[in-house]
Structure 1
Amino acid sequence: MSRFYRQIVLAVTILFLVMGMISPLQAQSYTDGGGYWLPNDKEKIEKATELMQQGKSIRELGIKQARIQKKEGIQTLDELMKKDQQSNATYRANMAPPIKTMAGWTPPEFDYDHILTTEECQRNPDSSSETGYIKNRYSFCWSHVASYQVPVKCIGGICINEGVQFQFTEIGYGSNQSRKMRVYYTLDDIIVTHPSLNGAKLKIDMVCESKLNAGDCQEDPDYPATERTIAQWKNKNFGTEIFTSEAPPATDANPDRIGYMEFWPKLTLTHAPRKFKKSIDGIKQTIRYDSARYMFAFPEQYFWQGAVFSKATPVFNVPITKPEFSMLKEAGQHWKFAMDHPEQTKPQLEKEKPQKIIPGGVGHSTLTRMYSKRHPEEYNRNQSKTRSTCNQEFKNEDRTGKDCDEYPFRSTWEGSSTNGSDNFSVRLISSDSNQAAGSWLGTWYAYDRILDGDQFHVEVEAPEKIATIRSEGQPQDGQDNRSSDNFSIQNIPSYATKLQWKIVDGPTGAKFDVMKDISFDIDETIFNDLQDGSETEIETSKDLYIARPENTNGESFTVEVYAIP
């Protein structure tokens, strides 16, 4: 390079730096442009968009090029099931109540609760996470902002870029009728920084990999990968791909003919005039296929095969506070009490034995389904131990119209006998509630495809006491407002929507406020004019106190705070 030419390049470079068209960091030479998934951060997305529109590299923000997923090959069934069980994700199964007929309790009709719109997907904070949002076993989604930068002018290793950016959303649908899974995807908010990029081609392909059997990943040829120009994507912004699984022969090791598949989106932008081609891969998601013949709901609903998103632990959700679920109230109250207060349940353990722990609660240990006809001996042992325990515990009670309910369920490996200790509870409840609950549990196993060996949680939606505080009948000595010590409201169950305040001791007609203790500042009033039975929005804090009590005649009182559905 001649001295004269070097001087020209240096002068142009300095001019660009002075004009702010490029930054010193860009002088690191990003001549190949790149493809990126922008971080799930509104401020960072706005800054990246601004840099892109200025022709600058978004790597100034520390954003790295998107990874390319690698295929990992076939694994064993044990390995794949273990991965499922290691997932921290959960979902709550919502099912209609059982129906009382002349023949007894019958199940509601099966109904998919799918993610129906991209807006529904994007509203959930998990939709842009590394795991995506698993709404339930049949509905998953992932949504992220994709950005491509195409170098158009490079001088001395310093480039000005044009860009393409859009919101990519994929929604996956499983099935309770077939070994088939489909993915619907959309592109929204498409931005190009130069008209020429409307002619760039974007190919979207859902890549899949068989994980257990060779036939686990079969792409439907009628729904291939889609390639369109950016202009065409603006006019038709969606696409679909469908995958099926070939059922393997049933074996002793795999009697339910399970298959596993991983899939992920690959987005490739090609701009031929600039000789630019970049691919970015989205997150991996797992599908489990099965052909379990015991997926049926009495008397005549059959679900012989299915495809589910398996990397989330199901939560058997029991909303007993809703009037339409009143038939489950007694059973649900028993299950919740057993998990919350195991030391108070029957049978009581001898003093020298370890503390009683009853599993199943969300955030703690799980229950594991045991299919009775595959494990008849163990199932019968649970049934026999429950019966003998009930006969002993309730031998002096009138059991007319009542059944002995057990928790954990006899259809789990944590049942009364198979748990290996006495970590279970029995209680007499009405036969009607017991039979409704049994029918509903069996139905849920089929509707959510809970296979033999699948783990799950139990959550009973009922008021849960989260705080108790004693208040004086007037402000404490030296205080203008405070009538109690500080108390905490924490650990609100996920199903709770409000707080309920109850006066359980003292003048029930008392009224009071709740204030927040703020160090080195004026305390804030959180709730006004509360009385027995008041309901409020949820407020969590470690520094609340009762204030300005009225109608107490100077008598102290106790307030209990409940989180309610």
Structure 2
Amino acid sequence: MGVLPAQAASGATNAAGGDDVTYKVIPYVISDPDLVAHPERVIKELNRSGGSLDALGVAPATKDGPSKITKSKAAQGVDAQAEPESYVVDSSRFPAGRIPDDIYDYPTSDQCEDQYDLASRDQGWIKNRYSYCQIHLLVMPAVRCGIFPPRCTTTGVFVSRNRLMGFGKVGGAEHASTSRWADFRLQVGVIQATGPFAESGADLTAEIECEGNYLDDDYPQTDENACFAGLNDEVEKPIGEWRRDGSAHLDLLSQASSPDAAMGEQIGTGVFHIEYDFDLPWYFQFIDTESPEGGMRFDSAWYLQSHKLGSVFDRAVPGMSYTKSDAAVGGVATHLEEARANPAATMPTQADKHLAGGSPGDPIHRLAQAKGDKQSFRYDENRRIVRNFCATKAMQDLKASLPADQGPYDCDEYPMASTYEGAGRHLFPDEPYGGTQYERHYSARWVNSEVNQEAGRRLGRWYDVDRLLDQDAFYIPIR
């Protein structure tokens, strides 16, 4: 029997039956919440149709990627104006600016399953900066097609529900201390394996692959070293063994030099996927196909405080929330919420003022003053502009009218000085996120000093722990 992808089905013949019978395996990799939740619908349609999922709106996978879905609720409900993928952690995770005992806060497999409606999309579910989860169906019908008469019947089916969980890391890999790395756990849950997939000698290999790129064109490494499979690059098992133990441990590496300002941030990006490779007895060739792609970023940012190198899943806009009912930061939370809701009413007054940072689609960007002189100077200018404005008679009169027993007070500013959208952005028209049109596009308000400083401590530690680099986009929702 011959094995050919659906797009190249001709030429495989039954040695015993002559040229009137062909055998093929049609690969499907399905990431759609409706079908992932109901694999029995897929199996039923395969048996009914002779190996086609056209009626479900599912096209076969190709060498270029997973199956295209056209009829699902998820596909039909795509909103071109939808917010970008994002995640949010509450600022209470960083009290007094402390590093959490567990900086990763990885999801458990149960939490990943609880989010299956998000995880079973192509982009998967990103719980936080260090966590990735994607769930998909791997479907392989084996089909026997006769030429006279022209009819196909399914001779066997492989169906599994697979969960890939990724774990970003800080610090270097054990065997290469300057290399960044990430850990992955694949769980292959075999639902059905019949026909050739149930025969002795039928194997399945799961291999992690990554296409890498260094953002600095002058970086002295080839792009292949920006993201590549590590020592745990593949797992091969007989299909019967996958039934008994569906787990696979895989990892990725990104080569770098020691963190140093002279080397820059050494940012490497990676687009990864799992390649599935079947080896079936008596078949002329094996079939491989790919899981949905995920994305990563590796960096060696020497200016971060606690960990100078690490890896994160960067296909989600990071968010840190302030909660109004949290007394430690409530005053700042109220300031941000009210200022963004009515910018024209904030001080200093400016009719066309816009204050970004309230949603992932309208983010602000980190200004890492420790990165270099340019960043430090712009940060200082942000602070100088606000300090001078807060010293004006109008602001001092407002301060004098506040209850003395709720002070002392700081002049809180939004967007913060640690952002490119800070008060001085109009002074930098030729630099990122600058422009003369942004003069007075900030809000200043008197807030209890300890509340203001606690909000700042939490923000600074979040930058550090979640590896927000200079110019990284983020947002601050208010709860």
* TM-score normalised by L of structure 1: 0.66
Cα offset, 1:56, TM superposition: 2.1
For 1:449, give the aligned amino acid. R
Q: Using a 3 Å threshold, how does the CA distance of structure 1 residues 55 and 164 change in structure 2: closer, same or farther? A: farther
Are 1:219 and 2:221 matched, yes or no? no
Using the alignment, how far apart are the partners of 1:39 and 1:288 within structure 2? 23
* Higher RCO (C-alpha under 8 Å, 6+ residues apart): 2
Q: What whole-Å deviation, never above 9, does each CA across 1:77-98 have from its counterpart, x for those lacking one? A: xxxxxxxxx9921111245455
Q: Which residue of 2 aligns with 1:202?
A: 204
Q: Using a 3 Å threshold, how does the CA distance of structure 1 residues 55 and 359 change in structure 2: closer, same or farther? A: closer
Using the alignment, how far apart are the partners of 2:319 and 2:345 within structure 1? 24
For 1:431, give the aligned amino acid. S
Q: Which residue of 1 aligns with 2:474?
A: 456
Q: Which residue of 2 aligns with 1:515?
A: none
SS of equivalent to 1:47: helix
SS of equivalent to 2:477: strand
Q: Using a 3 Å threshold, how does the CA distance of structure 1 residues 319 and 68 change in structure 2: closer, same or farther? A: farther
Q: Which residue of 1 aligns with 2:72?
A: none
Whether the aligned pair in 1 keeps the contact of 2:123 and 2:294 (CA below 8 Å) is yes
User: Equivalent residues in 2 for 1:116-127 (5 A)?
Assistant: 116-117=108-109, 120-121=112-113, 123-127=115-119
Are 1:158 and 2:160 matched, yes or no? no
Instruction: Report the structure number with the largest CA radius of gyration.
Output: 1
Q: What whole-Å deviation, never above 9, does each CA across 1:151-183 have from its counterpart, x for those lacking one? A: 356463533221110101101110133311011
Aligned pairs, number: 401
Q: Which residue of 2 aligns with 1:291?
A: 300
Q: Using a 3 Å threshold, how does the CA distance of structure 1 residues 292 and 169 change in structure 2: closer, same or farther? A: same
User: Equivalent residues in 2 for 1:84-483 (5 A)?
Assistant: 88-99=84-95, 106=98, 108-117=100-109, 120-121=112-113, 123-152=115-144, 154=146, 156=148, 157-161=150-154, 162-178=156-172, 179-194=180-195, 197-199=198-200, 200-212=202-214, 213-214=221-222, 215-221=225-231, 223-248=232-257, 255-275=264-284, 277-296=286-305, 302-321=306-325, 325-349=326-350, 354-373=351-370, 374=372, 375-392=375-392, 393-396=394-397, 397-398=399-400, 401-419=408-426, 420-461=438-479
Q: Which residue of 1 aligns with 2:46?
A: 52
Are 1:63 and 2:58 matched, yes or no? yes
RMSD of aligned residue pairs (Cα, Å):
2.7
Q: Which residue of 2 aligns with 1:511?
A: none
Whether the aligned pair in 2 keeps the contact of 1:107 and 1:440 (CA below 8 Å) is no
Whether the aligned pair in 2 keeps the contact of 1:121 and 1:142 (CA below 8 Å) is no
Cα offset, 1:450, TM superposition: 0.5
Using the alignment, how far apart are the partners of 2:383 and 2:334 within structure 1? 21
Q: Using a 3 Å threshold, how does the CA distance of structure 1 residues 47 and 99 change in structure 2: closer, same or farther? A: closer
Whether the aligned pair in 1 keeps the contact of 2:85 and 2:315 (CA below 8 Å) is yes
For 1:342, give the aligned amino acid. P
Unaligned runs of 5+ in 1: 1-28, 71-85, 297-301, 462-565
Cα offset, 1:339, TM superposition: 1.1
SS of equivalent to 1:347: coil
Decide which moves more: 155-164 or 238-247. Answer: 155-164
Unaligned runs of 5+ in 2: 1-20, 66-81, 173-179, 215-220, 427-437
Q: Using a 3 Å threshold, how does the CA distance of structure 1 residues 432 and 198 change in structure 2: closer, same or farther? A: farther
Decide which moves more: 399-408 or 191-200. Answer: 191-200
Using the alignment, how far apart are the partners of 2:230 and 2:62 within structure 1? 26
> Taking every aligned residue pair, what percent have the same amino acid on both sides?
23
Decide which moves more: 233-242 or 173-182. Answer: 173-182
Q: Which residue of 1 aligns with 2:77?
A: none
* TM-score normalised by L of structure 2: 0.77
Whether the aligned pair in 2 keeps the contact of 1:204 and 1:227 (CA below 8 Å) is yes
Using the alignment, how far apart are the partners of 2:348 and 2:91 within structure 1? 32
Whether the aligned pair in 2 keeps the contact of 1:407 and 1:425 (CA below 8 Å) is yes
SS of equivalent to 1:458: coil
Using the alignment, how far apart are the partners of 2:320 and 2:30 within structure 1? 36
For 1:407, give the aligned amino acid. Y
Q: Using a 3 Å threshold, how does the CA distance of structure 1 residues 256 and 341 change in structure 2: closer, same or farther? A: same
Cα offset, 1:203, TM superposition: 1.0
Cα offset, 1:60, TM superposition: 4.5
Cα offset, 1:38, TM superposition: 3.4
Using the alignment, how far apart are the partners of 2:121 and 2:454 within structure 1? 38
Using the alignment, how far apart are the partners of 2:248 and 2:230 within structure 1? 13
For 2:457, give the aligned amino acid. S
